[in-house]
Amino acid sequence: MAIDGKLHIAERPVVPVGLPSTSGAFWINTDVSYDAAISGIPFFFATSDKFPYKRATAPYRKQQTDTQKEPGEQSITGWWLRSQSSFHYGSGVRYQEPLAGDNVQYRFLKSAGVNVFNAGEVTLLPDMTQLRTVVGTPIMVSANYAGVDMVYIADGANLYMYNGTTTVAVTWGGTGTIFDVTQDGKYYYAGNATGIYRGLLNGGVGALVFTNPVTTTSMKLGYAKQRVIAGINNIIYEVVPLNVVNFIGGQLASNIVIGYTDTAHGYNAGMVVTIAGANAAFNGTFSVASVISSTMFTYAHNHIDVDYTSTPVGTVTLSSNTNTPLYTHPSSTWVWTGICDGPNAIYISGYAGISGGIMRLALDTSGAVPLLSKALTAADMPPGEYVTAMGSYLGKFLIIGTNRGIRVGTIDTSGWLSSGYITYGPLSVVTSGWDPAQGKVLNPAPANAVVSSVIFQDRFAYCTVTNYIDNGDGTFASGLVKIDLSKEVQPSQYAFATDRRVSTITAIASSVCNLGTTRTILVGYTGVGIYQESTSLVSSGYIQTGQIRYFTLEDKHFELLKLRMDRNMLGSLTTSVVGQDYTVRPIITTDNSFDYTQDLTAVDSLDSSAQTSLALRFTLTAGTGQLVGTEDKFLGYQLKATPAVKRQRLISLPLMNYDFNEDRNNNITGYIGAAADRLTNLESIESNGDVILYQDLSTGELQRCIIEEQQYSRMTAPDRAFSGDGGVIYCTIRTVS
């Protein structure tokens, strides 16, 4: 120090002040006792009445706005809300937040034993009771004959007819395992290794109407476009039964005869027919030359000397229907799995190995009677996925069951070139492989657990699934998945939920059908039995929401929960919380004595500690002997939470900023221009926006923070010796840890 008591520019500063090497630089006092340091830059406090040192809690809530379709979700001050008043857009939501789609407020993660598709309520489903036992793989087809609703059931080599009250054995005409059954409104058809047998739907005795032209290892039967179609091995045939119809013949010219029948004959050119009961000139076995209409055909015979007559009356019988195949798949191992009709074609599905697809049999309408012509590809499946069941709905939708799950396809009818092609979307239901909704790989058991049967009721499709339905207790069951074809949750993906099930059965759900024209559903389980829905409700069922995290990964306190049930409950409701680790913890069981206008609180173990997310599970339990039609209705819930983030502090620091400063021990530090350098460096750190290190050297406090705001007040005037640059920096910092 010079003899005048001042530091001069030529002298070395006591403390060099500059921009630290990093924003987290650390300061250690040595010979000068500074009060604080910001990012390694030391300061003395300028605390006074004018410049107080202040600490305050930083605001931690954002202004909430209501962006939901349901009013009120984000409009109440103080709470984060999540509520649901309906679940009719089905399951498959892992997180209950907007990223799952616009309809997420009507969806959930999973359920069992409950019906969710009535908007605004969740109710228990009908129970399933065993109708009969089976020893093999049951195959069922629904029918109605003479006003009687019925189901035909094939079990191994046996065929039964169930009319809703009694089950009777049917003499179907053949022996050995029945491969498949179908019906055309008047007759049932049962196919085995020999051929296809037909009998009246009233339980009539069957007779052989089609002889298999090849050694048969697989068969699929279907009735579409008023035709019985048979997929035998890798070949498709149209089955024209050995009809015996009344015949009125007449010579047209030379040896060409027109055969008139009093009912539709169903013949095609090339078929062989036998005429009997007419005069000798017309009797015999002949080949059909052409088909004029559904009741007229021509054939040639040897009696050219017979005069024209319209009097011969007798019968005409199809002698042989082993016709040219409609289509033969090039793969000899191809297996047909589905037959259904569309607006302008018959669709057939199948697979060989891991490859599968859907083809369409086009209708040639150039003649008086539409004929099935060539087979065209309608849709190919992704590698490793193949069609195992198929059904059409109202000429628009095609339900495609596969070894991976269920897809919904649409039939293109927009133009001549594209008409009949199938466009399908992602799997609506995943039964095997990675399921994004649950975030895990599904491995059904047994390995051949594929979707094997499809039926329709109203706007719903019902598909069999095996070992897929989560009972909620760590076990799984086989049964049905229900798809609402009126609710598209994502492009080409439709609302679904699990439906009828027998909670103790994991055997293959091989078939499903309606009881005739009724809504009564029957499900067949391989090696177990046929189950029919009863008039009683299932003993219990549940619905579980997706994880609720309010679209943020910060911890929350889930404080209040309001439940909504209809009045006059007969059963009970158990509410459970499902943690982010998916552990289920019941918290309360309520019945009709509970006040559903009150909130459940943390006292009820709703929230044991702050957590990122939780889900809710609601289990409905039926009352004793509770019947279908008296269902309790769960109407919804509202959950309230508050953020549990660690509070940040706003610390307002009055900092001396002069060229020369003096500590509590009268040590003077600084140099001319130090105030300007210190201010410039601090503003540079603030502009960078980085996290810095704040040290309160008087108390030992150490905080990571950011500079929220700073103000500089110049307190001195310039004189001859100094610029006068100096004053107080009022710096506000926000802690970040």
SS3 98: helix
Residues 6+ apart with CB under 8 A from 626: 124, 536, 537, 570, 571, 632
Verify that 608 and 555 share a domain, yes or no.
yes
Range of the domain at 314: 244-320
- Does the pLDDT of residue 262 top 90, yes or no? no
Verify that 687 and 633 share a domain, yes or no.
no
Does 104 map to a domain?
yes
* Rounded percentage of the chain residues whose pLDDT exceeds 90: 50
- Residue owning tokens 């209950």: 96
Distances from the Cα of 466 to the Cα of 309, 456, 498, 501, 507, angstroms: 64, 19, 11, 10, 7
Q: Supply the CATH number for residue 556's domain.
A: 2.60.120
pLDDT reported for residue 370: 52
Count of domains forming the chain: 3
pLDDT in tens, 92-127: 999 887 765 678 889 999 999 999 999 999 999 999
pLDDT reported for residue 316: 75
Domain end (from 320, 339, 366): 320
pLDDT in tens, 226-257: 889 999 999 999 887 655 556 656 654 556 67
Domain end (from 643, 671, 703): 643
Query: How far from each other are the two terminal CA atoms of the chain, in whole angstroms?
Result: 43
- Give me the mean pLDDT over the 554-578 stretch: 90
Verify that 679 and 637 share a domain, yes or no.
no
Q: 597: exposed, middle or buried (C-beta count within 10 Å: 0-12, 13-18, 19+)? A: exposed
Most confident of 53-62, 575-584, 599-608: 575-584
Helix (H) or strand (E) holding 677: helix 674-688
CA–CA separation, 202 vs 221, rounded Å? 20
Verify that 627 and 680 share a domain, yes or no.
no
CA dihedral sign, ordered 388, 389, 392, 398: negative
Verify that 693 and 636 share a domain, yes or no.
no
Does 254 map to a domain?
yes
Using omega within 30 degrees of 0 as the cis cutoff, is the peptide bond preceding 330 cis?
A: no
* pLDDT grade for 30, boundaries at 50, 70 and 90: confident
**Higher local confidence (pLDDT), 17 or 63:** 63
Q: 662: exposed, middle or buried (C-beta count within 10 Å: 0-12, 13-18, 19+)? A: middle
- Does the pLDDT of residue 268 top 80, yes or no? no
Does 8 map to a domain?
no
Does 388 map to a domain?
no
Verify that 544 and 627 share a domain, yes or no.
yes
Does 482 map to a domain?
no
- Residue owning tokens 């158990």: 574
Does 286 map to a domain?
yes
Strands (E), 506-554: 509-514, 521-525, 529-537, 540-544
Strands 41-43 and 476-490: unpaired
Does 100 map to a domain?
yes
* pLDDT grade for 577, boundaries at 50, 70 and 90: very high
Domain end (from 643, 666, 701): 643
- Does the pLDDT of residue 367 top 60, yes or no? no
The pair of structure tokens assigned to 52 is: 């107080």
Does 427 map to a domain?
no
| Cβ 345 vs Cβ 360: under 8 Å | yes
| Cβ 210 vs Cβ 241: under 8 Å | yes
Q: Supply the CATH number for residue 254's domain.
A: 2.40.30.20
Verify that 629 and 544 share a domain, yes or no.
yes
The pair of structure tokens assigned to 77 is: 């001050």
CA–CA separation, 157 vs 136, rounded Å? 9
- Write a three-state SS string for 201-228: CCCCCCEEEEECCCCCCCEEEEEECCEE
CA–CA separation, 464 vs 450, rounded Å? 8
Verify that 625 and 655 share a domain, yes or no.
no
pLDDT in tens, 196-213: 999 999 999 998 888 888
pLDDT reported for residue 325: 83
Verify that 549 and 636 share a domain, yes or no.
yes
- What predicted TM-score, i.e. pTM, was given to this entire model? 0.77
Amino acid at 509: A
- Give me the mean pLDDT over the 443-466 stretch: 85
pLDDT reported for residue 5: 44
pLDDT in tens, 370-398: 556 667 888 999 988 999 999 999 888 99
Verify that 653 and 713 share a domain, yes or no.
yes
Question: Starting at the edge strand that comes first in sequence, how are the strands of the sheet with 195-200 ordered?
Answer: 180-183, 187-191, 195-200, 207-211
- Does the pLDDT of residue 557 top 90, yes or no? no
* pLDDT grade for 581, boundaries at 50, 70 and 90: confident
pLDDT reported for residue 369: 46
Verify that 628 and 687 share a domain, yes or no.
no
CA–CA separation, 151 vs 163, rounded Å? 6
For residue 396, give the nearest of 338, 326, 456, 463 by alpha carbon. Answer: 456
Verify that 678 and 657 share a domain, yes or no.
yes
